[in-house]
Amino acid sequence: MTTLDRKGTFKVEYLQEIEKKVQERWEKENIFEADIPDDVNQEKFLCTFPYPYMNGRLHLGHTFSLSKCEFAARYNRLKGKAVLFPFGFHCTGMPIKACADKLKREMALYGCPPVFPDHEEEFVKEEDTVPKDKSKGKKSKAVAKTGTAKYQWQIMQALGIPEDEIKKFADEVYWLDYFPPRAVADLKRMGIHVDWRRKFITTDVNPFYDSFVRWQFNHLKNRNKIMYGKRYTIYSPLDKQPCMDHDRSSGEGAGPQEYTLIMMQVLEPLPEPLKCFSTKKVSYITATLRPETMYGQTNCWVHPDIKYIAFETLKNGIFICTKRAARNMSYQGFTENDGEFKILKEIVGQDLLGVALKAPFTSYSKIYALPMLTIKEDKGTGIVSSVPSDSPDDYAALVDLQKKAPFREKYGIKDEMVLPFKPIPVLEIPEYGNMSAVHVYEKLKIQSQNDREKLNQAKDMVYLKGFYDGVLLVGDYKGKKIQDVKKNIQNQLVAENGAVIYYEPEKTIISRSGDECVVALCNQWYIDYGNAEWKVQAEKALAAMNTFHDEVRKNLSGTIKWLHEYACSRTYGLGTRLPWDTQWLIESLSDSTIYNAYYTVSHFLQGNTFRGNVENSLKIKPEQMTIDVWDYIFFKDAPFPKDSKIAKGSLDLMKKSFNYWYPVDMRTSGKDLIQNHLSYYIFNHCAIWPNEENKWPKGIRANGHLMLNSAKMSKSDGNFLTLSESLDKFSADGMRLTLADAGDSIEDANFVESTADAAILRLYTFLEWVKEIINTRTTLRNGAYNFHDKVFISEMNMKIRQTDENYNKVLFKEALKSGNCVQKADCT
């Protein structure tokens, strides 16, 4: 879908001319600059928006989320509060550095400006996304390893950057100087209520912010919140480092998923494809989330057409699985060298069928590998253990195989490999009995393994109830509830050498370099969000907080419960270096948790610049901002740093500013940050101010994503608008009205261009009506109120109260309805 075309621009230009004059006056009079009021008892309102990442122009999605802060700031100022809405710009992390390096490679290969090959080609992993073919030809369309990304040069062209300037972006620092000023210019055109003296960019090019982050991390380490050791983490082999949410082009929010890797040993005589391994232990391996059901294995499933590999592990002999699974395992200590595994043999699934196996826990002395056509290669090992008593999919497939002799014959499966095997009772589940899969199969009248809709329904019915209410019928933990002994059973399987622990990403994760990520067990500095005492603090902070939506509270609480160790360091990209181990950079979701505190003093330090590279009003130098200085500013009982060369009056001014403005009254963000940034935001405030709960956040407001004309915003589909384009098309006020109308809930909102057109017309009509009334005011009736006047005033007062209540609840769509009396018949 492309954005809708509109005819005529006179009304838009008319509104834009008014906006320009008003904004010039705002700028001249500095009306958004917020200092501590003379009356320090004056109620204040501090709202913040997560600083956007500076690898491009701001888009309408950014604008929708930050508009919640904008509208709230103006409302609270109207109510007589001192209001501060500060704004910064994020440059930490991999994307900018990766894009700059990619440009360098393209220019080295294809010239400047580059002349790209005339054919699409893959990027080679070993060369870090350098194209294989170095021949030159005419310019081509977008090309990449994933089939969706473009050459970086072409991406820069698409951003509207002149060709003679693109080469400058090969220097990563140029990005930091190019995009932030343009973001400020766009936001000023929007008329945003921001104190721009407080602006800054992140990374060590800004020494003041760099010092602030190092102060924070020193305290986190000293308070045992940061640890070092081997941990499972999402990892990009191409980038050779952990791949956190902001480093991903897809798979944001996904983490490592733990599996129990069941080893099914191949019995003698080995089949022909595996005879070359006769002196070694050979195992089919299957990844399961349900180790407690392994007592009920009747067979395993193999896809006849998938290509499997054999590779040797350090401790457990030869594994048979997919190449993808072997790649993951090679980063988890299964092979001699990290990331390396030698393919001993490639085997098509057809040749692995009918093989006799010894599986742990099952009462059958041997089971067989049977065909299943629905197995996928992008999850697990490509081999699936079969427990037909408790898996509807397994039962349906087994029934099909037992009923259909031609299907067995097609794949060379003998009757004795299938017909004698019956489901084994493993779990007793209330309402479903001890054969839950059989029960729901018959209840839903499932016909075959192709009855996908009913099988998915059956799976949902069985698995959840089985975990919470299921009771084990066999084994050492007979009579125990599954949820109480699941981990014990896994440990038993591992101890008896029937299984090993294995991790892989919860879903496919692609880094911004175009690499499919794995789960790696690697040494790293990590923040211990799994600390039980810290979780209690975070829950306490959340309980006292206004989340505006029950679902936001529920999701934040759920995230706090499951959060665990989080890798906070990397070796590539931009950022602040760990103070105690400078080979590591602090990653982008870890340097951005308490920076709202920095806003309260940034205008004293930054000198009204992004980098703080000019003399500031207090004549403070970055090297003077020691840990003791930051402590004095931000901690209630911290002593004055006697060795500091900064005047006490200057530090007292900053301390007073922090104590007046903090805590944050409302943090506004998209809902996608609930499971990472917003939760880290809560944790870190509790860690830095453990004994000052009055510094903990007071409110978090999350909104849904923004659709454009009822469709997902997408650059590739053409359904996309930057902030600048939106201002050009709709004017600031037309756009703002439409953003307010787009939606208030946690569900996705919708910016409709026809609504923006109507808003432009309504604003223009309103201005014309005001002019008409002013010109004809002498003809208007005056004198005592009549009955109709009193009714009108009563209705207006009711609308004012309703609108005030909607604004107070940050329900701007509702406020637009109740406050827009021009549309109301009872207000005309």
Calpha distance 67→70 (Å, rounded):
5
Determine which helix (DSSP H) or strand (DSSP E) holds 412, and give its type and residue range.
none
Query: Positive or negative, the Cα torsion across 119, 125, 129, 135?
Result: negative
Per the DSSP assignment, residues forming a β-bridge with 285 are 263
% of the chain beyond a pLDDT of 90: 77
Residue with tokens 């902001």: 246
Calpha distance 732→175 (Å, rounded):
26
| 8 A C-beta contact, residue 686 and residue 534 | yes
Give the start-end residues of each E strand in 614-656.
none
In the chain (828 residues long), the average pLDDT of successive 10-residue segments reads 55 96 96 95 96 93 95 96 97 89 91 78 34 32 39 88 93 96 97 97 96 98 95 89 80 85 95 93 96 96 97 96 97 94 96 96 96 92 96 94 92 95 94 93 91 89 83 94 89 96 93 89 92 96 96 93 88 93 93 96 96 94 97 96 94 97 96 92 98 97 94 86 95 96 92 94 93 91 88 92 94 90 39
Calpha distance 412→355 (Å, rounded):
11
| pLDDT tens figures, 426-476 | 999 998 999 999 999 999 999 988 898 999 898 888 887 887 788 999 999
Distance of CA 137 to the CA centre of its chain: 39
How many CA atoms, within 13 angstroms, populate the side-chain half-sphere of residue 38?
Answer: 0
| 8 A C-beta contact, residue 828 and residue 766 | no
pLDDT score of 59: 94
Query: Positive or negative, the Cα torsion across 687, 689, 690, 695?
Result: negative
Cα-Cα-Cα-Cα torsion 16, 17, 22, 25, nearest 10 degrees, comes to: 130
Q: CB atoms < 10 A from the CB of 503, how many?
A: 23
Cα–Cα separations (whole angstroms), residue 409 to 242, 273, 298, 370, 398: 48, 20, 20, 12, 15
Q: CB atoms < 10 A from the CB of 229, how many?
A: 10
| pLDDT tens figures, 614-661 | 999 999 999 999 999 999 999 999 999 989 999 999 999 999 999 999
* Three-state secondary-structure class, residue 140: coil
Q: What is the chain's length?
A: 828
Q: CB atoms < 10 A from the CB of 785, how many?
A: 10
Q: CB atoms < 10 A from the CB of 760, how many?
A: 25
Nearest Cα residue to 384 out of 289, 454, 310: 289
Residue with tokens 């100022």: 77
pLDDT score of 128: 35
Residue with tokens 């787009």: 742
Per the DSSP assignment, residues forming a β-bridge with 228 are 525
Beta-carbon contacts of 378 under 8 Å, excluding residues fewer than 6 positions away, are 324, 508
Beta-carbon contacts of 272 under 8 Å, excluding residues fewer than 6 positions away, are 351
* Three-state secondary-structure class, residue 701: strand
| 8 A C-beta contact, residue 426 and residue 474 | yes
Nearest Cα residue to 754 out of 768, 767, 769, 737: 737
Calpha distance 315→121 (Å, rounded):
39
Both tokens of 825, joined, read: 């018949």
pLDDT score of 265: 97
Instruction: Concatenate the DSSP letters of all residues of 31-65 into one string.
Output: TT-----SSTTS-EEEEE-PPPBSSS--BHHHHHH
pLDDT score of 826: 36
Per the DSSP assignment, residues forming a β-bridge with 750 are 707
At position 71, the amino acid (one-letter code) is: F
This prediction's pTM: 0.79
Strands 318-321 and 282-288: parallel
Calpha distance 725→709 (Å, rounded):
15
pLDDT score of 828: 30
First to last CA, the chain: 38
Calpha distance 828→811 (Å, rounded):
24
How many CA atoms, within 13 angstroms, populate the side-chain half-sphere of residue 202?
Answer: 34
pLDDT score of 321: 97
Cα–Cα separations (whole angstroms), residue 686 to 246, 536, 547, 693, 695: 23, 10, 17, 8, 9
pLDDT score of 821: 53
